[in-house]
Amino acid sequence: MSQEEVISDSEEYDPLSSGLEPEIESLSTDTDSRMALNTNKAGMEGLDKDKINKIIIEASKGSKFYINQKKRQEIASKRNMKLKQEMERITKSDLERAILETNYEIELLESTRDLSSIIVHVDMDAFYASVEMRDDPSLRDIPMAVGGSSMLSTSNYVARKFGVRAGMPGFIAKKLCPDLKIVGGSFDKYRAVSKVVRGIFHEYDPDFSPMGLDEAYINITQHVRSRIQHFLIDNNRELREDPVFDKLDICSIDQYWDRGLVENIVREMRGKIEAATQLTASAGIAVNTMLSKICSDMNKPNGQFFLPPVRDNLIEFIRNLPVRKVCGIGKVTEEMLKSLGIIKVQQLYEKRAELKILMTDCSYQNFLRIFMGLGSTELEVKSDRKSRSTERTFPEISNPLKMYEMLEKLSSELSDDLKKKGCAGYTIGIKLKTVDFEIKTRVMTIPYPTNDCKDILTCSRTLLDKEIALLKPKMLKLRLMGVKVSGFGLGEDELNQTEAGESKAKRRKLQPNMPSLIDMFNSNSNSFEPPSINNSNYPLQAKEDLGNYTFRNSLSQQPEDSPDPNPQSSSTCPICSQIITGGNLTLNKHIDSCLNKRYIRDELSPYTAPIKTAGKQCKSSTNSQLSIQSYFTKSKDNNHHL
DNA sequence: TACATACAC
DNA sequence: TATGGTGTATGTA
Ligand SMILES: Nc1ccn([C@H]2C[C@H](O)[C@@H](COP(=O)(O)OP(=O)(O)OP(=O)(O)O)O2)c(=O)n1
Ligand SMILES: [Mg+2]
Ligand SMILES: [Mg+2]
Ligand SMILES: [Mg+2]
């Protein structure tokens, strides 16, 4: 039972935990949350977590990945301690005031409660794995997963019993389950299946909202109502025999939330999916997206769960759940809340005043809505994509020439993709992941939108060169590179349609006369970024295929072009463009200080979980401050509404 | 705007 | 031997 006793033999000496902050360290409750098995998934109930985690940790220990996870965990843990201390320091009077405020906000929110919509969340069971099992019967009864030895996309339910799940490296999964069969996937196949499934969703709600390939939110309110209508008034005999009405006593359209009817219709939809694809789906039925999403997991696989549209029912339902079940609350938020003593949604409610004081308004509002069981009752119209990107993991690269080659491939891919989609953006970015799993992103904005391969390459090279220069004399060792274009503004099609579009288009019409990026770099006139310096002293072996890129030389000097400057000369800081005199030592010191300004803002990084998940943005709380104030002025006269 | 972080699938 | 790829939202400066 007592874990302290069990782990004593594996306890490590941790230099970070000695000395300075003994009381904080001793309070640490979270040591492995980032590495441990995440059982928040259907089919993973009742596993021997301790045994599985031991294997996972054992297989991971000492790896660069593990070290990085540990580091991040430490940061989050410290942030959580501090948060807890802040909570303990809240004064009684502040708390009382916050309770009054929060109760009033709850009351306002309560008045927005809408139980009228039937929101269904449908999600395919073990999607990729099920497709592969369907197509290869030998996989059907054995533990299997889709992916490779370094990463699994998903696993079937047999494998989940061993702790094997999506996002787990295959080689670790093999340790958990030596008989695990790992098969490679084919995205095209899943996309094709998805198309079929979406066709069925469309029959029930033309405005359904897909989330990824295997799931969607479907508002079937209208479908059910018109189905009743036809059943009641249509003289068509076939419709009168609509089987979903079997043994039900439906005599009015107002009975559209009838449990039997709604469940039959959802069962029918799942049946159509299975008939069309030989794959099973599960569904959740509730009054909003937040709840229906949770419900679709309740009876997985091949099941459905109906949450009655009754306020007290759904509040009881949600409050008994661990906060982690809620979409948008992941590992980090779970741990953060745990440090405040919050595990179940009920405790979210009990600590509402503390949360109001401690959290940003956005997070706090989100927690309010969660414990009240509120969510989106309308599905959002699919909004345009805001960015496109491509990235790749590879065996370590530390030679910049190889990095350039990679950027070239990525830029070309991204450019093709952008052109195919007919979009172009002002902002070009790169993503780098070092072999230590540290992630850097760098972006630059240019004066006109582009989807041109050369432009993307030029910019991404500039950004990369800057990082290389910055890190010198340390070597940049990468395991991943990526390129991204964002800031689309208006797409090509839209440019000439709206009025705003036209004026924007006009502003961009200087394009024909606008110098190309390359020209801008060459002329060095008023360049939007200081010219990059690549005076790194890596061994740069000339390669045949470098000749293709005439702009390469204009972009950044080759190492021999800019040898290490005279130790006494002045140079430009690649970060702030300031001119630094006094040789390399001074320059490096300056760069270090710039680096610190740039990357080390705060010992504790902010807590930044995204709130928006599915459905329409909450229209509520546009002016909660005003509401609170009006409450206080009002409450002087009548505070009975508390 | 730029960057890091968290989350979903 | 080995820990993914694509996209969005949020906090801070
Ligand atoms: N980290 C992840 C999670 C999921 N997927 C892919 C594979 C899944 O099959 C598909 C759908 O994701 P789900 O979360 O719905 O998981 P499954 O459908 O596999 O299982 P479940 O039955 O729990 O829905 O997305 C992925 O590539 N990487
Ligand atoms: Mg699924
Ligand atoms: Mg899914
Ligand atoms: Mg969650």
> Average pLDDT, whole number, for chain A?
81
Q: Collapsing DSSP states into helix, strand and coil, what is residue A109?
A: helix
What are all long-range contacts of A328-332, with beta carbons under 8 Å and residues at least 24 apart?
A328/A366, A328/A609, A328/A610, A328/A611, A328/A612, A328/A613, A329/A370, A329/A609, A330/A609, A331/A33, A331/A34, A331/A38, A332/A76, A332/A607, A332/A609
DSSP annotation of A473 reads T
**Whose structure tokens read 């970015």?**
A429
Which atom of ligand 1 is closest in space to residue A129's alpha carbon?
9
Residue range A296-349, pLDDT digits in tens: 999 999 999 999 999 999 999 999 999 999 999 999 999 999 999 999 999 999
Q: Over 80: is that where the pLDDT of A468 sits? A: yes
**Nucleotide whose C1' lies closest to the alpha carbon of residue A439:** B4
Strand B bases with any atom < 7 A from protein Cβ: 1-9
Spell out where A273-342 has E strands. Answer: 281-286, 304-306
Q: Is the CB of A442 under 7 A from strand B?
A: yes
Q: Which residues, other chains included, contact A641 with Cβ-Cβ below 8 Å and sequence gap of 6+?
A: A104, A107
What number is the average pLDDT over the span A616-641? 30
Give me the residues near strand C, CB below 7 A.
Answer: A 35, 56, 59-60, 63, 65-66, 149-151, 153, 166-172, 360, 362-363, 383, 385-393, 479-480, 482, 484, 486, 601-602, 606-612
pLDDT, residue A613, reads 85
ipTM for the whole complex: 0.99
Burial of A554 (C-beta count, 10 Å sphere; 0-12/13-18/19+)? middle
Full-model pTM:
0.81
Q: Name the nearest CA neighbour of A364 among A354, A353, A356.
A: A356
Quickly state the pLDDT bin for A53 (edges 50, 70, 90): very high
Amino acid residing at A14: D
User: For the residues A277-293, what does the mean pLDDT come to?
Assistant: 98
Q: Residue A241: which pLDDT band, with cuts at 50, 70 and 90? A: confident
**Closest-approach nucleotide to residue A336, Cα vs C1':** B6
| Closest C1' nucleotide to A617's CA | C9
Please write the tens of the pLDDT for every residue from A388-430.
999 999 999 999 999 999 999 999 999 999 999 999 999 999 9
CB-based pocket (< 6 A), ligand 1: A 41-42, 123-128, 153-154, 166-167, 212, 214-215, 300-301
What is the pLDDT at residue A21? Answer: 40
- Could you read off the pLDDT of A223-233 as tens digits, one per residue? 999 999 999 98
Instruction: State percent of chain A over pLDDT 70.
Output: 72
The pLDDT tens digits for A544-553 are: 221 121 111 2
pLDDT digits (tens, 9 = 90+) for A526-577: 333 333 333 332 222 222 221 121 111 211 222 222 332 233 344 444 444 4
The rounded distance, in Å, linking the Cα atoms of A162 and A47 is 8
Q: For A171-184, what is each residue's pLDDT tens digit?
A: 999 999 999 999 99
Give the pLDDT confidence of A594-605 residue by residue, as tens digits. Answer: 443 333 333 567
Average pLDDT score over residue span A255-275: 98
* pLDDT for position A616: 66
- The whole-angstrom separation of Cα A398 and Cα A394 is 11
Is pLDDT above 70 for A1?
no
Q: What percent of chain A has pLDDT over 90?
A: 69
